[in-house]
Structure 1
Amino acid sequence: MKPLFFLLFLAFVLSSSSSSSQARSVIPRRPQPLSSIKINTTLNQGTCSFSVSVRTSCSSIRYTRDRISLSFGDAYGNQVYAPRLDSPGSKTFEQCSTDTFQISGPCTYQICYLYLYRTGNDGWLPYDVTVSGYNTKAVTFYYNVLIPKDIWYGFNYCYGTRAASSAMK
């Protein structure tokens, strides 16, 4: 009787772990293009400060002159927008480097989406982007792919909430 109980228990555990791995596979592991985004610049006059660290891949070009913008937010429609992170001539986004920015914006809950926008012809390959702020745990979005030109490209982990998707449209 005990061996039968053990086998049933083992089957239950294995079926539970396989269903949870299926649920995890729904989350995109690679950044996705976003066809449209509504940037609400009037909300960006916020009272919270965020630290954003952008690590450029060692596989990226040596340096870029591309213009890089960023938008991130929470599941409740709070959005932070940085229209241009790069600074011409400042050696921002060099190969194998990390650049940290202090960005002011509306206070948010846990950050669950982040998109980058690149304009220019150099090409740029970020490794990852980490955002931390007052109300949020630090969250890292892993890219390690070339950001396509003239399109918002990134991650939206705000599944199951209408507010996040409406903020992005």
Structure 2
Amino acid sequence: MMRALFFLLIFAVLISCSQSRSIIPRPQPLSSLKINTTQNVGACSFSVSIRTSCSSTRYTRDHISLSFGDAYGNQVYAPRLDDPRSGTFERCSTDTFQINGPCTYQICYLYLYRSGYDGWMPYDVTVSGYNTQPVSFYYNVFIPGDIWYGFNNCYRATSASLAMK
């Protein structure tokens, strides 16, 4: 009897595992992101590591900007992270930036903006700061041009937190 129950249990686990699919969040376009440049006072420092995918173009001359923040409306904006002369965003590379901005609670959204014709595929972006645990956002897709593209994992987000039109 125990042997039959054991095999039945194993069979049930195998069936449920074969039918379950992991849910991997994918980046989404955001038609409008209001940048609060007056808030970008350098009270806190953040480390942002951007790893470019090995499937990306060899290098990009595109303009790359970044915005991230918390569910309480604190937003950090970094325009023009790119610098083709320094080899920024080359295929299979990691670039780390020190960005100053307003202090935040836990970072829960991050968007990238790309403008240009080369194309660029980040693998992931990791943000760490004084008052936050490090958080990673996984892309591994080409960033569309001329639109904010990324993640909003803010559960307590209000209309003020992202100030979308």
Do they superpose with TM above 0.5?
yes
Q: What is the rounded CA distance, in whole Å, between the counterparts of 1:39 and 1:107 in structure 2?
A: 16
Could you list the runs of 4 or more consecutive aligned residues of structure 1 that deviate by over 3 angstroms after TM superposition?
A: 163-169
The residue type paired with residue 120 of structure 1 is G
User: What does the per-residue CA deviation read over 1:109-161, in whole Å, with 9 as the maximum and x for residues that have no partner?
Assistant: 00000000000000000000000000000000000000000000000000242
**1:46 is the counterpart of 2:21:** no
* Contact 2:72 2:161 (8 Å CA) reproduced: no
The residue type paired with residue 56 of structure 1 is T
Aligned to 2:86: 90
Q: What is the rounded CA distance, in whole Å, between the counterparts of 1:138 and 1:64 in structure 2?
A: 27
| SS of residue in 1 equivalent to 2:125 | strand
Q: What is the rounded CA distance, in whole Å, between the counterparts of 1:49 and 1:62 in structure 2?
A: 30
**Mapping 1:129-144, distance limit 5 Å:** 129-144=125-140
The number of equivalent residue pairs is 149
**CA RMSD, Structure 1 to Structure 2 (Å):** 2.2
| TM-score, normalised with respect to structure 1 | 0.82
Q: What is the rounded CA distance, in whole Å, between the counterparts of 1:163 and 1:132 in structure 2?
A: 25
Aligned to 1:124: 120
| TM-score, normalised with respect to structure 2 | 0.83
**Mapping 1:9-158, distance limit 5 Å:** 29-158=25-154
* Contact 1:75 1:163 (8 Å CA) reproduced: no
Q: What is the rounded CA distance, in whole Å, between the counterparts of 1:166 and 1:142 in structure 2?
A: 20
Query: Shift in Å at residue 61 of structure 1?
Result: 0.6
Query: Shift in Å at residue 165 of structure 1?
Result: 4.7
Q: What is the rounded CA distance, in whole Å, between the counterparts of 2:109 and 2:33 in structure 1?
A: 12
Q: Structure 2 regions of 5+ residues with no counterpart? A: 1-8, 14-19
Q: Percent identity?
A: 78
* Contact 2:67 2:111 (8 Å CA) reproduced: yes
Greater shift in the superposed pair: 40-49 or 50-59: 40-49
User: What does the per-residue CA deviation read over 1:77-133, in whole Å, with 9 as the maximum and x for residues that have no partner?
Assistant: 000000110123111000000000000000000000000000000000000000000
Aligned to 1:167: 163
